[in-house]
Chain A
């Protein structure tokens, strides 16, 4: 009599031994699938490890990045209160004034917009002022010379000893400036830095009304001050005076966050590669378990429990996952050493890379958990194998428990959500990502199913034998339609989305092609210079597209509440920039191209100036929490003006042209201190250079923004970013190819059998080959086209709802990706069958039997 207790358990060691015995001859079958997770894990680990290293490096070198322990900075010369705070801190150890200006040189006629940094004192206290020759960093102050950005020196063929003209000052160049704390490569390419002694700033006469100037006061803390406390205590006081305190800690945190956001995006790209690999794992384990069903039935006959048989295969999958995790992690760690070279212009510090332990743990955990999770659905199939199957009884298979299937899918989706939450640190984005992933996979799976059903329903019975056979292959038992459409579709979707997103971003940034769109903006044109500047442009046969008056002002009161009080009110949700920003406003009697009236009526001109109806942008209204009819009091350089919101405009800020948050009607600001922004459009780069030379010679204080150059910089930047994204996306592509290879290989024997039978029955090699080629051709076109169209739809939705623009999709996905991938799939499919075609049927049958 058998007692009612659990069967004797042979223990974990036996399960391990059985897993090893059973798996040792099958490793080659699942090796490809292990590789598919390897790439995904390598991608995630490399980004994680690099991100963690970058964050640590920024934190470690925060002082060197800033050049000081903390800075007080202001857009205006500090007022008494700010000066008192600076004095209470023992006075600044160094100070700097910096602004954009045009530079000219004695050796070349070319001019260039530069960022002039007038420095006094021992700045930088940390980090390095790296120059060529080295001693120039120490003696440029004493010599009264300039340090000029090294790239600019190379570009213009400048040498030490040449002269740079900045406004009314001409200084000898002491050397080239290779790096200076507070400058970064991207901004340097628009306005490269030029460091000069502070004492020459006044005589340059470059700072005039409306000039955008930063005054920075550097402090070296030798008393071990609690900087966080200092920030907490002083920043609100400085804020109230239009100044700001930044410590090296807060700056490094801010910088870290900026790179973290980009890292998060790349992480998602990498995670998609991992997900794709997991689909491969699921498909491989499905076929693997299918092959193992007879063995599972026999094991159960011999007395193994359901749990024991399940665990044997679970251990195998976990082992594959662990191996994938180890190899992927090692590859990822190695890969991160490539990144500094790839993105050297985008990162602020020289990196010292090490192995980030959290990335290693993450890699191993991801390897095991994702493999097990995605293999779980086919694995639970082992639980429902009846031992009767060993006796060849045509047994009605016990239905899988619905509960367990639902649980598995919930676990998979929950894990996708948890991992994206870990990568993105934002539950809403994570939910959106999980939703997007489910939708993408579901749509692709739906397309595959729909295709299968349509082929079945409308099967072309009268078409020739080869076409009919190849179509039959798409829905026969063990077909690969679903897995191949998923693998090809997700890969293509990803690459196409990258291309379309790039198109979107570039469409946003590009200069409008219309004749009225400017490509040169002249900033800081003083009222007295206006006439002459316009004449200079016109005498060069160039048009003046706009001549915009600018009046600077600050918000003094919002809806009757003084800004000082709003600042103190901790419950206020009004955006801080509204309270602290010095607004550059204009006045005019009409809307411009980039504006659309959303609410109210645009007032063209007023005669009464008691309460002035102004027009604000939708963004301003949102951030300032004001609506139609609300009053805003402005401090216009000492004079208080009360206004009311008369209209709200939607402004397309993406257009490279002067746009304004606040527009006054005519008849109010004409007499206020003001300067002008003049725009023009030049047909060629030569014409642009010629005009710039003339303008710089006559009006040294006028800064000229050549939008062509800015656009070039933006395009270069986007190219670099796109390159990195493409690099990360290539992991998905490779993973897709591996999943594809694996899926094709795993059905090799079934295909062999069928091909051999066809040949035995008299089919020619060519016919068999054509059947296979046609099948993969359908799958390639269906998968790639679905991916591209899905991506096009997604990008179009993004264009409508997020960017509010129209975009012309690049043809690359259609012209290169679609035929390229289809060809690749064709090659993979055919290479799988070529052996069968070449060998005699009997030889193949014998090999197969063995």
Chain B
């Protein structure tokens, strides 16, 4: 198995007026293909920023990120967008469904973006898999929190991504619903061989992954294989 994500000496800071805030400082790690990986840390530790940079959502100040064999610093914004569309999936804490699109339309956006035919058929199959086959025509406002996140999971797996980034996937859900969504994520990970990177401060969820990396104040404090594995 090769490395799907390699991060070397990644640094990112934001300036606010005269002040510069270093969010991530010389962070290095890598993730194997098909692995499940958790990034944990307290609020403000820089974990979500790290996730965004790994997914190519912004540019690093220094250091390098190599995702799916591509050095992100060599790619322009449009090329990074293409890389995400072809190889990356996302699940967000607050679901981030398009409120004006139906469940099915939300799921097929990544497929349509790649110009794939039969997107609707694939989308309905995915919704079926997450248990929402009969709710495809519903708008997000007509769905519960758990249902919304299941639609988001279906959308994340729609383009059969090589790597899926999940940002606090259970953060807005009650324990029972969260459990269901996590099971779904891990099941699909197994089924499709997708690498799963989860940002969370829910240690119970992190324990379910193969490797846990702890960060604090923008630096890695610990990076080890989970005890249960």
Contacts and interface: CB of A to CB of B under 8 A. Distances in A.
A666 interface: no
Interface in A667-714: none
B94 A392 contact: yes
Contacts of A301: 55, 57, 84, 90, 96
B176 to A, nearest CB: 22
Interface in A11-42: 11, 14, 17-18, 21-26
Interface string B80-105: 01111110101011101011110001
A6 interface: yes
Contacts of B74: 4
A186 interface: no
A585 interface: no
A295 to B, nearest CB: 5
Interface stretch (A215-223, A383-391, A409-417): A383-391
A10 B115 contact: yes
B210 interface: no
Given A22-B100, A23-B100, A11 B115 contact: yes
Nearest to B199: A391
A302 B15 contact: no
Nearest to B58: A388
A401 B100 CA distance: 29
A300 B81 contact: yes
Given A303-B82, A396-B15, A391 B48 contact: yes
B94 to A, nearest CB: 7
B49 A393 contact: yes
A179 B99 CA distance: 67
A437 interface: no
Given A2-B86, A391-B48, A391-B57, A303 B110 contact: yes
A383 to B, nearest CB: 10
A534 interface: no
Contacts of B96: 294, 297-298, 301, 390
Contacts, number: 131
A396 B16 contact: yes
Interface in B135-189: 139, 141, 155, 159, 167
A721 interface: no
A24 B100 CA distance: 8
Nearest to A398: B58
A10 B52 contact: no
Contact of A2 (B57, B82, B98, B139): B82
A531 interface: no
Interface string A204-229: 00000000000000000000000000
Given A390-B92, A391-B57, A4 B75 contact: yes
Contact of B81 (A304, A393, A850): A304
B69 A1 contact: yes
Contacts of A298: 92, 96, 98
Majority-rule SS of B interface residues: mixed
A305 interface: yes
Contacts of A1: 68-70
Contact of A391 (B92, B99, B110, B155): B92
A630 to B, nearest CB: 73
Interface in A95-125: none
Nearest to A298: B96
Contact of A7 (B82, B93, B155): B82
A489 to B, nearest CB: 34
Contacts of A22: 98, 100-101
A278 B10 CA distance: 47
A303 B58 contact: no
Interface string B188-226: 000000000000000000000000000000000000000
A403 interface: no
A303 B84 contact: yes
Given A23-B100, A388-B57, A8 B82 contact: yes
A305 B85 CA distance: 10
Nearest to A849: B141
B86 A386 contact: no
Interface string A284-325: 000000000011011111111111100000000000000000
B78 interface: yes
B129 interface: no
A462 interface: no
A393 B51 CA distance: 10
A846 interface: no
A6 to B, nearest CB: 6
B79 interface: yes
A9 interface: yes
B77 interface: yes
B139 to A, nearest CB: 8
B69 to A, nearest CB: 4
Contact of B51 (A303, A391, A395): A391
Contacts of B121: none
Contacts of B167: 391-392
A396 B17 CA distance: 11
Contact of B85 (A302, A390, A394, A396): A302
15 contacts: A1-B68, A2-B79, A7-B81, A7-B82, A18-B109, A25-B99, A298-B98, A301-B84, A302-B90, A304-B81, A386-B58, A387-B57, A387-B58, A392-B167, A396-B14
Interface of B: 14-16, 48-49, 51-52, 55, 57-58, 68-70, 74-75, 77-79, 81-86, 88, 90, 92-94, 96, 98-101, 105, 109-110, 112-115, 139, 141, 155, 159, 167
The 3 closest A-B pairs by CB, nearest first: A303-B85, A7-B82, A387-B57
Given A2-B79, A22-B98, A302-B113, 11 more contacts: A7-B85, A8-B114, A21-B101, A22-B101, A295-B99, A297-B96, A299-B98, A303-B81, A303-B86, A305-B82, A386-B58
